[in-house]
Amino acid sequence: MALLSQISRLIGILSCKGLTLYLETTIPSYLKAKQSRDIVQAARQQITTEWWDDRLKDFEIFISQVVVEEASEGDPFASAKRMEALKTFPLLEITEEVFNLADKIIIEKIIPEKAVRDALHIAVASYHEMSYLLSWNCKHIANAQVINRLRKTLADERFELPVICTPEELLERSE
């Protein structure tokens, strides 16, 4: 059975046609959180679970040390569940250039200084040329106004912004 699982994973990686995805911390947070009574939060949890079960295998998934740090914070039981979900994904390096890019995003006031980790997620995904950045952070990351400003700033720095979207936007396969 383990061999079938490995073959299935390999087929999934090969079929992703080089599509790389940076998994921001809100994804494992929604995936592993106890069921919310808030209707919007509950819907996001459901969508995240569906995406994880149905689409995760279609991408080569990456995280960063920022994701690890955020996911390990808070309630020890909850953080252990998040960390378990993340344990197989490779870490992208956070270089000096990544820090400089995050600084530029903050200096341009696209993302507030208090949300430096959000700027780092974007910088890491852009620097490492990810195809997608998956996030439920609709205030600082998956936000149309932020994305428009990021696209210009990153282009000025000679970087391309990955497609930033929520799991809902990547739930259906485009055939």
Residue 174 has pLDDT above 90, yes or no: no
Domain extents in the chain: 8-170
Pairwise pLDDT comparison (174 vs 144), residue with the higher score = 144
Q: Is the pLDDT of residue 13 over 90?
A: no
Query: In the beta sheet, which residues pair with residue 20?
Result: 60
In the predicted model, what is the mean pLDDT of residues 11-19? 56
Cα dihedral 71, 28, 22, 8 sign: positive
Residue type at 137?
N
Per-residue model confidence (pLDDT) at position 11: 45
Q: In the numeric block, which tokens belong to residue 86? A: 């993340």
CA 130, CA 161: separation in Å to the nearest integer? 8
Q: Has residue 14 got a pLDDT over 70?
A: no
What residues does 132 pair with on adjacent strands? 21, 163
| 63 and 22 Cβ atoms separated by less than 8 Å | yes
pLDDT of residue 168 exceeding 90: yes
Angstrom CA distances, 82 to 11, 32, 51, 74, 77, stand at 26, 6, 16, 11, 9
Query: CATH assignment of 8-170?
Result: 3.40.50.1010
* 3-state secondary structure (DSSP) of residue 152: helix
User: Collapsing DSSP states into helix, strand and coil, what is residue 170?
Assistant: helix
Q: What is the mean pLDDT of residues 81-109?
A: 97
pLDDT for 62 equals: 99
According to the model, what pLDDT value does residue 12 have?
A: 43
The residues with which 140 forms a beta bridge, in sequence order, are: none
At 32-47, the pLDDT tens digits run 999 999 999 999 999 9
Read off the pLDDT of each residue in 77-86 and give the average, rounded to a whole number: 97
- 107 in Cβ contact with 50 (< 8 Å): no
Kindly report the pTM of this predicted structure: 0.87
The pLDDT of 129-158, averaged and rounded, is 97
Which one-letter amino acid corresponds to residue 71? A
